[in-house]
Amino acid sequence: MRFESMYFHKCLCFVLFLILFPLSLFSQTSREIKVYVPPVAGVGSMADAAYFYKQITYEVVLQYNSPVRNLQSSDYTLRGAIAHYTGESFSFLPSINLSEELLDTSAEHEAEAEYETDSENDEFVFRLELVDSKTNTVLGQQEIIFLVVDSSVDELISVIIYNLLSGIPDIIEGLDWRDKYLFLSGALLWAPRLYEADYQSISIANAGLSIMAEFHFLPYMALGLGMEFTNDWVVVSAAQDESYLDFVMEFPLIIKGVFKLSDFYSIEPYAGVKFNLSVTNLTAPFWISWLAGFEFGFKAGQGMVTINPRFAMDFDSSYITSTSQEYSRYMLQLGVGYKLGFFKR
């Protein structure tokens, strides 16, 4: 019976890990692209410039992107200019300078560009450029030739904005999973233990659950308090009736260092104590133990998957309640879980 139970617990933990690991790893979410639309510059009337500005902004929203009010908060910029169409070449004004004084708020858009008055028979060309807002690099451009603005221009604007934005890759939201004040985690535990009295026994069928709250009071240091529930399968003699299956509540209190190895990995060595309480009172584990271990975490979704090996030992002997038989406990533990952060630092 004990042999079968051992393999049942091990297989259960392994299957749950195989299920949770890929789901967490690939649950990253993308966000809408943030697009800034500056005032349309160039020649032509103020009405034409306002029309193109309005249509660009409308299409940005219609095509599931997010317009923003200033350059600094954007990922990309759609900047437009109107010029005379000469038939041979486009006589555009020099490239627009995306400086802070030009690109601020929508309240200033109407006064940003100067326009020339032209004959009603002039043909114009509207050029739209997609620009990387961080590097000011032009990533693509499209043009529309028009005499007057009408419904056909509406359709062309929709097409050229789609052409420019459709090739932009999804932007993965920065998760900042380590730069938080509070972390909450849950884990499955495998807890093999050695019991030493007149007879020495090893139980590798012990398993349990854990929840933990951590307060990261410094970027590189944290204080943790948790609650764990595990079974304690104690054998103090070779006789079959001298085994005791107890269930123990444990409350670890730890202090840990936080080392950020890269943007995706971290390792957190820790040490502390845990307070022990028997649920069934078949055994009386010593009330306090010391522990040491480390937690390895890697970025997955909104938080991180954690792998947490540790060692613990009671400060003094435990005993069987009915017989007063004393024994010592040496406790290994491997936890696999998931951790989420709250309250950005």
pLDDT digit string, tens, across residues 244-268: 889 999 999 999 999 988 778 899 9
Give residue-wise pLDDT tens across range 53-102.
Answer: 999 999 888 888 888 888 888 889 999 999 888 765 444 443 434 333 33
Strands 124-132 and 76-85: antiparallel
Q: Provide the whole-model pTM.
A: 0.51
In order of 73, 320, 334, the CA distances from 114 in angstroms are 26, 91, 69
Beta strand 288-300 pairing with 207-218: unpaired
For 165-176, the DSSP string reads: HTTSPPEEPP--
**Segment among 114-128, 197-211, 284-298, 309-323 with least mean pLDDT:** 114-128
pLDDT of 209 higher than 60: yes
Measure the CA–CA gap between 95 and 80, rounded to whole angstroms: 10
Residues 6+ apart with CB under 8 A from 72: 133
Per-residue pLDDT at 284 exceeds 60: yes
Long-range contacts of 104-111 (CB under 8 A, 24+ apart): 104/70, 105/69, 105/70, 106/69, 109/38, 109/39, 109/53, 110/39, 110/46, 110/50
Q: Using alpha carbons only, what angle is made at residue 309 by residues 340 and 22, rounded to the nearest 5 degrees?
A: 50
Average pLDDT, the chain: 80
Taken in order of first residue, the domains within the chain and their CATH numbers are 2-27+175-344 (2.40.160.20), 31-172 (3.40.50)
**Backbone phi and psi for residue 241, each to the nearest 5 degrees, phi listed first:** -85, 5
User: Stretch 194-214: mean pLDDT, rounded?
Assistant: 90
Helix, strand or coil for residue 337? Answer: strand
